[in-house]
Homo-oligomer: A and B are copies of this chain.
């Protein structure tokens, strides 16, 4: 096993009726003014916004609001929020929403101290400092509520890139699974597939890291079991709780320990798709890319892919496991082919070009343009 560092000081407050704790928590850390970042209004429908505001008021926390973060969150909105923060001088950021909102909040919290936050995405500037971040999670997928990562799309340059820094780990995240009961089914599924994909990015680099590999397998199975349960009984609070917690654990660093930082090339290929097709949700893109990626890559680490086939899918080999995986995704009503995403042949070239902007694509195998083309070929419908 490789040497590793691990530290994740984020405090998780998990369960029913926990949103009202946000005010007192922010107070406890000594802050009295926050910038509240939110999405497109769903939190006004499910009472999350009301409870948040009530809690802030009772704790005498001042706040300023930024609305309108969209799925595949964009740099222009981040810049708008940073300008507001410069004017309003909040002591902390409060993200109320899903991964897009939290990722935007992270970019704002780091960007507050930088001339141009995009420089950090380009790797030209180090993030050393950020405003403290608090989150109320309303959609489980990215695990951004308990990790150091944020992904933002630069819509002008068509780049969907990431930043990561210890100071971007939220101080406190409130996860009330019951607020996710009313989510449209496809958003639950996208979150589940994002969680599974995070686990696979790390897992497939594994060789003899028995402990972390076994944890990844346990989490993958738990996500599959809980999603199946929710499809049968959408209001099952217990299934929702298990799914939500497994998705956080899938990318909060714990299950990745010793696994060499993961591969992330499937994620990057997906980012190439949603950079060009922003209407494609990240989970949808991953549902299409990952099975193809596995079929292309499994010979690079055959023992681990075989182990995954057996332990996660009870399949006799990788081909059979991918088939089961696609059948499961289809049963969850996720897209599984590029055609399902309405991506045509011409656009594939654009996607490949976009993906190849990344230097050093892939760890298990360094991917060339040709490799990415082949992977995308395997994502074309064979049904």
- Residues of A participating in the B interface, judged by any CB pair closer than 8 Å: 1-18, 177, 208-212, 214-215, 217-219, 221-222, 225-226, 237-239, 241-242, 245-246, 249, 254, 257-258
Contact = CB atoms under 8 A, between A and B. Distances in A.
Contact of A5 (B14, B217, B242): B14
A245 B226 contact: no
Q: How many copies of this chain are found per oligomer?
A: 2
B222 A214 contact: yes
Contacts of A12: 4-7
A87 to B, nearest CB: 33
Contact of A4 (B6, B7, B10, B15): B15
Given A6-B14, A7-B11, A241 B222 contact: no
Contacts of A15: 1-4
A10 B13 contact: no
Given A4-B12, A211-B226, A211-B242, 18 more contacts: A1-B15, A1-B238, A1-B241, A1-B242, A2-B15, A3-B17, A4-B14, A5-B12, A7-B11, A9-B9, A14-B258, A210-B222, A210-B239, A210-B242, A211-B245, A214-B222, A215-B215, A217-B218
A2 B10 CA distance: 19
Q: Which 8 A-B pairs have the closest CB atoms?
A: A3-B15, A9-B9, A214-B218, A1-B241, A7-B11, A218-B218, A210-B242, A211-B246
A14 B9 contact: no
A185 to B, nearest CB: 20
Contacts of A239: 210
Contacts of A214: 218-219, 221-222
Contacts of A10: 7
Nearest to A10: B7
A135 to B, nearest CB: 14
Contacts of A209: 242
Contact of A225 (B210, B215, B249): B210
Contact of A222 (B7, B211, B238): B211
Contacts of A258: 14, 241, 245
Contacts of A222: 210-211, 214
